[in-house]
Amino acid sequence: MSSIIKIRDLHKCYWVGTMPFPALHGINLDIMAGEFAVLAGRSGSGKSTLLNIVGAIESADNGSVEVFGQKVLEMKQDQRTRFRLNNIGFVFQAYNLIRVLSARENVAYVCQLQGKSRDESMEIANHWLREVEIEHLGYRRPDQLSGGQQQRVAVARALASEPKIILADEPTANLDSQTGQNLIHLMKDLNQRLGTTFLISSHDPDVKNAAKRLIKMTDGQIVDEWSKIPRQPISISSACPIQNLPFFERMRMLIKGSAMKRRHKQEQKKNRRRS
Stretch that binds ligand ADP, among 39-47, 136-144, 179-187, 231-239 (CB under 6 A): 39-47
Q: How many CB atoms lie within 10 A of CB 235?
A: 13
Under the criterion CB under 6 A, does residue 48 sit at the interface with ligand ADP? yes
Pick one of 41, 55, 163, 180: the residue that binds ligand ADP (CB under 6 A). Answer: 41
Judged by beta carbon, residue 34 or residue 41, the one nearer ligand ADP is 41
Judged by beta carbon, residue 5 or residue 240, the one nearer ligand ADP is 5
CB of 141 to ligand ADP, least distance (A): 29
Stretch that binds ligand ADP, among 13-21, 174-182, 187-195, 232-240 (CB under 6 A): 13-21
Can you list the pairs that 94-97 forms with residues at least 24 positions away whose Cβ atoms lie under 8 Å?
94/174, 95/142, 95/147, 95/150, 95/151, 95/153, 95/154, 95/174, 96/154, 97/142, 97/150, 97/153, 97/154, 97/157
Residue type, 48: S
Judged by beta carbon, residue 196 or residue 201, the one nearer ligand ADP is 201
Per DSSP, which regions of 70-212 are E strands? 70-71, 88-91, 165-169, 197-201
To 10 degrees, the CA torsion angle through 126, 127, 133, 137? 0
Pick one of 27, 49, 67, 204: the residue that binds ligand ADP (CB under 6 A). Answer: 49
Q: Are 188 and 120 in contact (CB under 8 A)?
A: no
Q: Are 123 and 147 in contact (CB under 8 A)?
A: no
Under the criterion CB under 6 A, does residue 14 sit at the interface with ligand ADP? yes
Q: Are 233 and 1 in contact (CB under 8 A)?
A: yes
Q: Residues 195 to 224: which contact ligand ADP by CB under 6 A?
A: 201
CB of 187 to ligand ADP, least distance (A): 19
Judged by beta carbon, residue 47 or residue 164, the one nearer ligand ADP is 47
CB of 211 to ligand ADP, least distance (A): 16
Under the criterion CB under 6 A, does residue 93 sit at the interface with ligand ADP? no
Stretch that binds ligand ADP, among 42-50, 126-134, 144-152, 182-190 (CB under 6 A): 42-50
Q: How many whole angstroms separate alpha carbon 230 and alpha carbon 217? A: 21
Q: Which residues of the chain form contacts with ligand ADP (CB under 6 A)?
A: 14, 16, 21, 23, 41, 43-49, 201
